[in-house]
Amino acid sequence: MRLLSRLRAGLLASLTTRLALAYGLTTAAVLVGVAAYLSSSLGNQLQARDEGELVGEVQLVRHLLREVASEVDIRTDAHRFADIAMGHEGLVLIVRTRQGEPLVTLNPRNEPIPQINVLPVGVSPDRSLLQTWHPRNGVPSPGVAALGQIGNTGEAVEIIVLSDAGYRVALMREYRKQLLAAVLCGSMVAAGLGFLLARRGLRPLRRMAGDAAAVTTSRLATRLDVGSAPAELRELAGALNGMLARLQDSFTRLSTFSADLAHDFRTPISNLVGQTQVTLAQRRTPAEYESLLESNLEEYERLSRMIENMLFLARADNAQVALGARPLDARAELDKVAEYFDAVAAERDLTLSVSGVATVTADQPLLRRAIINLLDNALRHAPAGSTVRMAVSRARPGHTAISVINSGPAIAAESLPHLFGRFYRGDPSRRNSASSTGLGLAIVDTIMRLHGGSVSVRSVEGQTAFELDFPDKVVSRVGA
């Protein structure tokens, strides 16, 4: 039983087999319907023919009776009446007097003669006047009885004509057997042809499967041939090609991310190892050991920031960051960030200014993190003696814009599309800076996508402006 179940499951796992079975079953259903119609139609026609023959037999016997002169003539010329029944299988013909004395008897199987109503001489029999009787085989059969007049004597005799429907039932049974055999053969042929047609029709799908199987991490640029695919498969092929393009892009970004990650981790670790090895190469004073620990602490802090930022990005990519968006006073948030950075700005001879009033719908910790990252970036690149400006406004209906603007040289045009990439630094001189992990702007971009908003940058000679666009209705787009 288990073997049969496995075999059945294996067969049904094939789409070709399923289509072939569908063809076979559909054909069987159609043929069964046609066979049922033909069988019913033939049965009705045979029944109508038999009933019509009964009516005709009565009319014929009545006509022959008018050609004889007496009952004696009927007995002497009985073969004329018997000839009527020739070629009619199962037909019973009885002609008898009103007292029940037989004149003509044609009953090859000695069937019992039933008591049925006799039609008067003046009534012409038709199919509606037929009655039912049961021969020995038990099959309900039609019959009729009527009076017939002998010559011009006015004397009447009974005419009984019965038909045994058993032969018709046997004929229909054999006919149905042949129809069933034809249905089975036709269904098997249809299933076989369906299998061949399905196998041929699914050949493009198998080619697509072969092309897809050839895609590996080193061959992500491979695409399925959409042009040669049937119309029904072009949408699937296009979707698969789109998926391959996204996978290639993701794999490329992951490879670049991994390389940059290894590079950025190597620098602080190399610093830690190198400084520690040099210090341990000979005995040092407590002050020198303290200086080493302070230097190592800076590298540890940098590693900690990198790990924290990468964990945040990983959680955001996997939709594991809970967003608690609510209406906030954007001006108050900017003032708090500016107050936090006042000392840093004063140390670098920079001035902070905040302007505008608006409400923003955002997650407060993430909003502050995005503003802090942009402001930290602006303070690092603004020239001494300049002003870093932060502004909030209702840029367009349903959106709140927060801008961070600093003076300084313009960012190269070729760098602008990559500014929000992970580990990207537009200033090569700061590539190994301990103060930057190369993830700040990437985190800003992720935070904005979490809010369903966007971050943009405009840079001309003398000024660079970053703008955060928050929609009033937050719809997260991370991972889209």
Based on the fold, state whether residues 357 and 298 are members of the same structural domain: no
The domain tally of the chain equals: 3
pLDDT confidence of residue 305: 72
pLDDT confidence of residue 126: 87
Please give the C-alpha separations between residue 15 and each of 22, 200, 202, 205, 318, in angstroms, as whole numbers: 10, 12, 9, 11, 35
Based on the fold, state whether residues 166 and 280 are members of the same structural domain: no
Q: What is the DSSP letter of 334?
A: H
- Examine the pLDDT at 442 and tell me if it is beyond 70: yes
Based on the fold, state whether residues 363 and 449 are members of the same structural domain: yes
Who's near 57: CB < 8 A, 6+ residues apart? 84, 85, 88, 91, 93, 161
Mean pLDDT of 206-234: 74
- Examine the pLDDT at 77 and tell me if it is beyond 80: no
pLDDT confidence of residue 429: 41
Q: Which domain holds residue 43?
A: 15-171
pLDDT, one tens digit per residue, over 417-436 is 777 776 665 554 444 444 55
Who's near 272: CB < 8 A, 6+ residues apart? 296, 299, 300
Please give the C-alpha separations between residue 456 and each of 132, 432, 463, in angstroms, as whole numbers: 96, 25, 14
Based on the fold, state whether residues 39 and 161 are members of the same structural domain: yes
pLDDT confidence of residue 439: 75
Residue 400: pLDDT band (50, 70, 90) is very high
Based on the fold, state whether residues 429 and 398 are members of the same structural domain: yes
Looking at per-residue pLDDT, the higher value among 342 and 254 belongs to: 342
Based on the fold, state whether residues 327 and 310 are members of the same structural domain: no
Based on the fold, state whether residues 386 and 351 are members of the same structural domain: yes
Domain end among 128, 153, 171: 171
pLDDT, one tens digit per residue, over 316-374 is 665 556 678 889 999 999 999 999 889 889 999 999 999 999 999 988 888 988 898 89
Looking at per-residue pLDDT, the higher value among 385 and 73 belongs to: 385
Based on the fold, state whether residues 39 and 103 are members of the same structural domain: yes
pLDDT confidence of residue 404: 94
Q: What percent of the chain has pLDDT over 90?
A: 16
With respect to residue 136, please indicate whether it lies within any of the assigned structural domains.
yes
pLDDT confidence of residue 349: 92
pLDDT confidence of residue 434: 47
- Examine the pLDDT at 135 and tell me if it is beyond 50: yes
pLDDT confidence of residue 389: 93
pLDDT confidence of residue 478: 52
- Examine the pLDDT at 315 and tell me if it is beyond 80: no
Listed ranges 111-120, 212-221, 257-266; the one with the highest mean pLDDT: 111-120
Assess contact for 401 and 468: CB atoms under 8 A.
Answer: yes
Residue 390: pLDDT band (50, 70, 90) is very high
Structure-block tokens of residue 427: 């200033």
Assess contact for 306 and 437: CB atoms under 8 A.
Answer: yes
Looking at per-residue pLDDT, the higher value among 413 and 379 belongs to: 379
Please give the C-alpha separations between residue 229 and each of 95, 194, 205, 237, in angstroms, as whole numbers: 81, 21, 8, 8
Gap between the Cα atoms of 378 and 372, Å rounded: 10
pLDDT confidence of residue 401: 93
Helix (H) or strand (E) holding 147: strand 141-150
Which stretches of 202-285 are DSSP H helices?
203-213, 231-280
With respect to residue 220, please indicate whether it lies within any of the assigned structural domains.
no
pLDDT confidence of residue 358: 92
pLDDT, one tens digit per residue, over 213-224 is 777 777 777 777
With respect to residue 2, please indicate whether it lies within any of the assigned structural domains.
no
pLDDT confidence of residue 428: 47
Domain end among 123, 138, 171: 171
Q: What percent of the chain has pLDDT over 70?
A: 87
Pairing mode of beta strands 387-396, 351-355: parallel
pLDDT confidence of residue 476: 56
With respect to residue 476, please indicate whether it lies within any of the assigned structural domains.
no
- Examine the pLDDT at 100 and tell me if it is beyond 70: yes
With respect to residue 371, please indicate whether it lies within any of the assigned structural domains.
yes
Based on the fold, state whether residues 26 and 124 are members of the same structural domain: yes
Domain end among 154, 171, 188: 171
Q: What is the DSSP letter of 219?
A: -
Min mean pLDDT across 8-12, 74-78, 80-84, 328-332 is at: 8-12
Please state, rounded to an integer, the average pLDDT across all residues of the chain.
Answer: 81
Helix (H) or strand (E) holding 91: strand 91-96
Looking at per-residue pLDDT, the higher value among 10 and 204 belongs to: 204
- Examine the pLDDT at 407 and tell me if it is beyond 80: yes
Based on the fold, state whether residues 462 and 355 are members of the same structural domain: yes
> What's the CATH number where 244 sits?
1.10.287
Residue 402: pLDDT band (50, 70, 90) is very high
Gap between the Cα atoms of 322 and 292, Å rounded: 40
Residue 262: pLDDT band (50, 70, 90) is confident
